[in-house]
Chain A
Amino acid sequence: MKPFARIILFLCAVMMLTATVDLPDWADPGSPASTHLSPGFIEQGYHETATPNVVTAVLADYRSYDTLFESVVVFAASLVVMLVLRRTSTGTSRIKHFRPKREGRDTILRGAAQSIIPVMQIFALYVLFHGHYSPGGGFQGGVIFGASFILLSLCYSLKFAMQRFKEKMVLICCACGALLYAGIGAVCLAMGWNFLGYAGLAGLLGVTDVMARSHGILAVEAGVGITVMAVMVSLYYDLASGGDMEEGL
């Protein structure tokens, strides 16, 4: 089977390299990707959404329907991992793990974690809410926030982290983030605009359509952030403990 797999891999590689023959040059300003839609986004993006970072504007407003489903993909991943792995502890774990024994008191680790985690969480919030002006946004901010809980559980123990961020709470956060995103879409729908047409929030917030889009982006980014944060934590809880929530990495 192995030589066969190699032949297939080789053929795929050849095919993909052949495809590069008539691709436009790298970073060519005349390439279709930079001339077809991008000028429109760059020129109108700020005037239509009041968001200087074009990437955020495209991600969370022009293509917000995609982003909604991307956050749902992440949510689905955590749901799948939980459904497959999670089981109630039976005392004797059937799954064998091959991790080294933990010895001694990890004073330095814990001290470092204590000082890093608060900074990390503040930074995560900064990344999330500063997504309008600089690289960042819900996905990155959420991952960093989730990583802070993972760090907590790595340096202390899984139980310690789970006391602070309970499993039930994690699942609720997973669903609520995506629900916030979809809910904003539904509110726009109720206000007489299309699904996810943030301009519909203008009446509720008492601002102009353009500013309403900017606020809408912020709100959905927060939703994405909550989902991604909770999903990262949930994936770690399930995978590191093998599903019985007894002992982590």
Chain B
Amino acid sequence: MTWDANLLWQFDMLILLMMVICAVAALSLKGLVSSAVVTGAYSFFTCLMWTHMMAVDVAFTEAAVGAAVSTVIIVATAQYINPWSKD
């Protein structure tokens, strides 16, 4: 299988853009739970990125660990922190 680096570069850019948006949103959103969910979305885009790079094993792990379980764990932890606190 040959790999053309120019294949679908628009798709590439779109994913990168979404990753940046998610990263900024996760930092600037007020609610902790929303931040946690956006982190999950970030993980999902990373997973797409890995797939696009044909690193399927890494993408699989990212999908299972990053997008699924760690989001749940972050949400589970966020409930103990006052979501309306200033920091």
**A contact set with B: CB distance below 8 Å:** 25-27, 53, 55-56, 95-99, 127, 135-137, 139-140, 143-144, 146-147, 150, 154, 232, 235-236, 239-240, 242, 248-249
Contacts and interface: CB of A to CB of B under 8 A. Distances in A.
Contacts of A248: 76
A45 to B, nearest CB: 14
B77 A136 contact: no
A123 B15 CA distance: 28
Nearest to A54: B57
B81 A147 contact: no
Contact of A27 (B3, B65, B69, B79): B3
24 contacts: A27-B5, A27-B53, A95-B80, A96-B80, A98-B82, A99-B79, A135-B57, A135-B59, A139-B61, A139-B64, A140-B64, A140-B65, A143-B64, A147-B64, A154-B72, A232-B69, A235-B73, A236-B72, A236-B73, A239-B73, A240-B76, A242-B80, A248-B76, A249-B75
Interface of B: 3, 5, 53, 56-57, 59-61, 64-65, 68-69, 72-73, 75-77, 79-83
B contacts with A: majority SS? helix
Contacts of B53: 27
B76 A239 contact: yes
Contacts of B81: 98
B79 A98 contact: yes
A98 B77 CA distance: 10
Contacts of A26: 5
Nearest to A237: B76
Contacts of B82: 96, 98
A25 B5 contact: yes
Contacts of A99: 79
B69 A97 contact: no
A97 B57 contact: no
Contacts of A53: 57
A27 B69 CA distance: 30
B72 A150 contact: yes
Contacts of A242: 80
Q: Which 4 A-B pairs have the closest CB atoms?
A: A240-B76, A143-B64, A99-B79, A135-B56
Contact of A249 (B56, B57, B76, B83): B76
B59 to A, nearest CB: 8
Contact of A97 (B72, B73, B79): B79
Best-surrounded residue of A55, A97, A98, A240 (most CB of chain B within 10 A): A98
Contacts of B65: 139-140, 143
Contacts of B5: 25-27
Given A26-B5, A139-B65, A98 B83 contact: yes
Nearest to A131: B57
A53 B60 CA distance: 14
Contact of B60 (A140, A147, A154): A140
